[in-house]
């Protein structure tokens, strides 16, 4: 036995969409219903566990044999469910060594991250059966008790034998579809080093991170109380039946002389600049109401296992354009920043449930709770969080790739890139809180907005006007930044030219240490790490400006599979972010002997005893990968009793 392709169907009263597979499989009523598998490509066998059939002993042994490759689509689901089926202790799971996830395989090739989606794009003969969703809802989830079903809360095979037979066919078809996907993708095998990264990701997900559930419970209570008070106050001011309704609030504001098309954060902030005091008060209350962080706290409550650790928060290759990680359940990638100077005191007050003090000391209770979301993640007693973060990683990578030496020299000397950029742009010395210090902000916003071909629109989107820049300053700022970074501008268009040639001539081109190749209807960009980015079915079309652009198929802004237009600077953005991701993975490999519990963007969070050296962690993070000679890396960090943004 060399490999198994498998798929399981299971029952649990826990909602997997809200809680994740770890909590789902921990439910007392969790049960595997069907186990379908193919051994070494042989016909699929379905074992009806719900009706008393047993999985053969040699297959069960193979599940714990790292030499036997286990294939599944979204393999973490099968691995965690089978860990429970095999009776492993709580918090202990089958080793991810030897598990290959076909969803990851599809993602490395720019394909959808659903079995149904991949089957459709590849045009498979045997695709996932569409009636599966109905059958899963019927057999895999609790049902509402009714008079007609005898008051039962669960549907069993004998309640609908015909449906059950169809469900078994569905289970079998999933494995057949996975095998067909493997056959179609066999020319593009996933490199071993990516499976090694996947193993580290799974180990981090298995380890989980401890959540301060007392803080979470009190935050949810305070949010509900604050929300009630805010709505009551808004009703008193406006006499509206539902002041939280966008339509009702817009109509009320219009009746009071304030017209607006939107009530989003930016629009409300703009309205408050010139609104009379009484309307400002209502808008302020609305802003507070919109800040509610309760969903994050509720997500933590849903996700934690019996040991109060939240597991399965990270999705490997979640962003298949770059291969970057994404997050699940709690959505760690978009946590609110904390800027409070007395974070310790605020956290202690919320945790103690002292709503009156929190309300008195912090006028904006929702904002306070929002800033404390990070602080709900804690190390176990006797340990600390060691948080290390790469400094300006994307700015370093693009300078290295483009050969913009003045920027690399700034990083080599430990300088401030925002000051250096402003100095380069305006040809005067710029020091933070010193000579020409007012120009640093212009350097900062230019750095954040313009590195990937952005213009005036990008500056505005980054908040340039709100930060005090004038409309007439924006285009000169774009021009100054581009003039100061000629090699980066050349890099954009060198990539654009390389992509166009590779696609139009079905050939291989190279520039700036990158390789662009067209193979089997896919554009591949080979990064310095050896990893490849994939763009499906690329073609050259006429764009809206009368020039030529490359388009390809992928998941677009609408979250649907569609044709996407791109060009040099956008490809550069993908490339730079992908390399930043590879550097993070390299750092996690060098730190894999440590207990990594979280990683957010370019930051790693480790739980360890106070004996560990923070400097050693940062030094390890700052090691340049062997494939990135000349790249200047730097990491800085802090230790804490809870997670925060230092």
Q: What would the pLDDT profile of 612-639 be if each residue is shown by its tens digit? A: 999 999 999 999 999 999 999 999 999 9
| pLDDT given for residue 132 in this prediction | 85
| pLDDT given for residue 264 in this prediction | 84
CA-nearest of 621, 497, 641 to 571 is 497
- Whether residue 608 contacts residue 307, with contact meaning beta carbons closer than 8 Å, is answered with no
Q: How far apart are CA 21 and CA 23, in angstroms?
A: 6
| DSSP, residue by residue, 435-499 | TTGGGHHHHHHHHHHHTTS--HHHHHHTTTTTTT--HHHHHHHHHHHHHH-HHHHHHHHHHHHHH
Q: How far apart are CA 308 and CA 458, in angstroms?
A: 42
SS3 of 637, please? Answer: strand
CB atoms within 10 A of CB 402: 24
Place of tokens 């401890």: 210
| pLDDT given for residue 278 in this prediction | 85
| DSSP, residue by residue, 570-607 | HHHHHHHHHHHHHHHHHHHHHTTTS-EEEEETTEEEEE
Instruction: State in Å, rounded, how far the first CA of the chain is from the last one.
Output: 51
Per-residue pLDDT tens digits for 80-95 = 999 999 999 989 999 9
**Mean pLDDT, residues 230-251 taken together:** 88
Per-residue pLDDT tens digits for 127-170 = 777 788 899 999 999 999 999 999 999 999 999 999 999 999 99
- Residue 230: C-alpha distances to residues 56, 223, 283, 370 (Å): 60, 10, 11, 16
Name 64's Cβ contacts closer than 8 Å, sequence gap at least 6. Answer: 86, 94, 95
| pLDDT given for residue 243 in this prediction | 84
Instruction: Write out the two tokens for 147.
Output: 């008079």
Residue 272 backbone dihedrals phi, psi, to 5 degrees: -70, -15
Worst-scoring range by mean pLDDT, 181-185, 455-459, 535-539? Answer: 455-459
In the chain, CATH 3.30.420.10 covers: 3-190
Per-residue pLDDT tens digits for 467-511 = 777 888 889 889 998 999 999 999 999 999 999 999 999 999 999
- The DSSP output letter for 333 is G
| pLDDT given for residue 314 in this prediction | 96
This prediction's pTM: 0.92
**Mean pLDDT, residues 109-118 taken together:** 92
| pLDDT given for residue 130 in this prediction | 76
| pLDDT given for residue 403 in this prediction | 96
Q: Give the chain's radius of gyration (CA, Å).
A: 27
Q: How far apart are CA 77 and CA 174, in angstroms?
A: 14
Instruction: Write out the two tokens for 249.
Output: 């609030």
- The more confident residue out of 43 and 249 is 43
| pLDDT given for residue 38 in this prediction | 97
Residue 445 has pLDDT above 80, yes or no: yes
**What is the sign of the dihedral through the CA atoms of 15, 130, 317 and 41?**
positive
- Whether residue 573 contacts residue 563, with contact meaning beta carbons closer than 8 Å, is answered with no
- Whether residue 54 contacts residue 82, with contact meaning beta carbons closer than 8 Å, is answered with no
Residue 304 has pLDDT above 90, yes or no: yes
**Mean pLDDT, residues 303-325 taken together:** 95
| pLDDT given for residue 426 in this prediction | 87
Q: How far apart are CA 184 and CA 124, in angstroms?
A: 9
Instruction: Write out the two tokens for 644.
Output: 């925060």
| pLDDT given for residue 124 in this prediction | 84
- Residue 477: C-alpha distances to residues 441, 483, 488 (Å): 12, 10, 16
Considering only the top CATH level, what class is 3-190? alpha beta
| pLDDT given for residue 164 in this prediction | 97
Q: How far apart are CA 156 and CA 481, in angstroms?
A: 66
Q: Residue 487 half-sphere exposure, CB side, CA atoms within 13 Å?
A: 13
- The more confident residue out of 524 and 560 is 524
**Mean pLDDT, residues 257-280 taken together:** 85
**Mean pLDDT, residues 529-534 taken together:** 97
| pLDDT given for residue 542 in this prediction | 84
> CATH topology for 379-392+515-646?
Alpha-Beta Plaits (3.30.70)
Per-residue pLDDT tens digits for 370-395 = 999 999 999 999 999 999 999 999 99
SS3 of 509, please? Answer: strand
**Mean pLDDT, residues 589-604 taken together:** 94
Rounded to the nearest integer, the mean pLDDT of the chain is 93
Q: How far apart are CA 427 and CA 564, in angstroms?
A: 39
Name 478's Cβ contacts closer than 8 Å, sequence gap at least 6. Answer: 446, 450, 454, 455, 456, 459
**Mean pLDDT, residues 215-235 taken together:** 93
**Mean pLDDT, residues 184-212 taken together:** 97
Residue 125 has pLDDT above 80, yes or no: no
């Amino acid at each position: 036995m060399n490999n198994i392709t498998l798929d399981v169907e299971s029952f649990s009263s826990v909602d997997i969409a809200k809680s994740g597979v770890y909590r789902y499989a921990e439910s007392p009523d969790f049960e595997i219903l069907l186990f379908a598998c193919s051994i070494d490509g042989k016909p699929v066998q379905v074992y009806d566990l719900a009706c008393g059939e047993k999985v053969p002993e040699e297959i069960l042994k193979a599940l714990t044999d790292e030499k036997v490759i286990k294939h599944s689509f979204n393999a973490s689901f099968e691995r965690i469910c089978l860990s429970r089926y095999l009776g492993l202790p709580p918090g202990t799971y089958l080793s991810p060594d030897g598990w290959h996830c076909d969803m990851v395989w599809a993602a490395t090739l720019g394909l959808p991250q659903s079995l149904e989606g991949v089957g459709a794009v590849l045009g498979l003969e045997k695709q996932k059966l569409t009636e599966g969703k109905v059958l899963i809802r019927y057999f895999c989830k609790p049902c509402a008790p009714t008079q007609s079903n005898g008051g039962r809360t669960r549907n069993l095979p004998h309640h609908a034998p015909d449906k059950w037979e169809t469900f078994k066919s569905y289970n079998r078809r999933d494995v057949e579809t996975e095998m067909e996907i493997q056959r179609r993708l066999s020319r593009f095998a996933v490199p071993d080093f990516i499976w090694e990264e996947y193993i580290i990701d799974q180990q981090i997900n298995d380890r989980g991170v401890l959540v301060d559930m007392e803080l979470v419970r009190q935050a949810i209570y305070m949010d509900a109380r604050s929300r009630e008070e805010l709505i009551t106050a808004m009703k008193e001011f406006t006499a509206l039946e539902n002041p939280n309704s966008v339509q009702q609030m817009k109509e009320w504001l219009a009746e009071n002389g304030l017209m607006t098309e939107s009530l989003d954060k930016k629009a409300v902030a703009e309205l408050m600049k010139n609104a009379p005091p009484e309307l400002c008060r209502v808008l302020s209350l609305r802003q507070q109401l919109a800040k509610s962080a309760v969903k994050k706290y509720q997500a933590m409550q849903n996700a934690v296992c019996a040991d109060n650790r939240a597991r399965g928060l990270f999705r490997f290759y979640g962003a298949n354009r770059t291969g970057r990680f994404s997050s699940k359940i709690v959505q760690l990638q978009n946590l609110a920043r904390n800027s409070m100077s007395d974070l310790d005191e605020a956290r202690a007050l919320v945790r103690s449930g002292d709503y009156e003090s929190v309300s008195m000391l912090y006028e904006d209770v929702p904002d306070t709770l929002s800033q404390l979301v990070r602080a709900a993640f804690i190390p176990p007693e006797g340990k600390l969080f060691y948080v290390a973060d790469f400094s300006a990683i994307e700015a370093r990578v693009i300078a290295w790739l483009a050969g913009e030496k003045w920027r690399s020299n700034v990083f080599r000397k430990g300088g401030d890139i925002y000051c250096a950029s402003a100095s380069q742009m305006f040809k005067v010395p710029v020091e933070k809180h010193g000579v020409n210090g007012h120009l640093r902000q212009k350097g900062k916003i230019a750095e954040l907005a313009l590195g990937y071909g952005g213009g005036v629109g990008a500056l505005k989107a980054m908040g340039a006007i709100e930060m005090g820049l004038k409309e007439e300053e924006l285009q000169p700022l774009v021009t100054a930044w581009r003039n100061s970074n000629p090699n980066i501008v050349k890099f954009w268009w060198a990539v654009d030219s390389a992509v166009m040639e590779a696609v139009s001539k079905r050939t291989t081109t190279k520039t700036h240490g990158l390789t662009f190749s067209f193979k089997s209807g896919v554009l591949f960009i080979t990064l310095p790490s050896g990893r490849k980015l994939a763009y499906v079915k690329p073609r050259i079309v006429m764009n809206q400006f009368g020039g030529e652009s490359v388009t390809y198929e992928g998941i677009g802004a609408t979250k649907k599979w569609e044709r996407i237009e791109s060009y040099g600077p956008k490809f550069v953005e993908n490339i730079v972010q992908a390399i930043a991701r590879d550097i993070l993975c390299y750092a996690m490999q060098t730190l894999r002997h440590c207990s990594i519990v979280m990683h957010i963007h370019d930051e790693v969070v480790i739980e360890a005893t106070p004996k560990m050296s923070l400097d050693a962690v940062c030094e390890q993070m700052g090691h340049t990968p062997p494939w990135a000679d000349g790249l200047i890396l730097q990491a800085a960090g802090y230790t804490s009793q809870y997670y925060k943004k230092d």
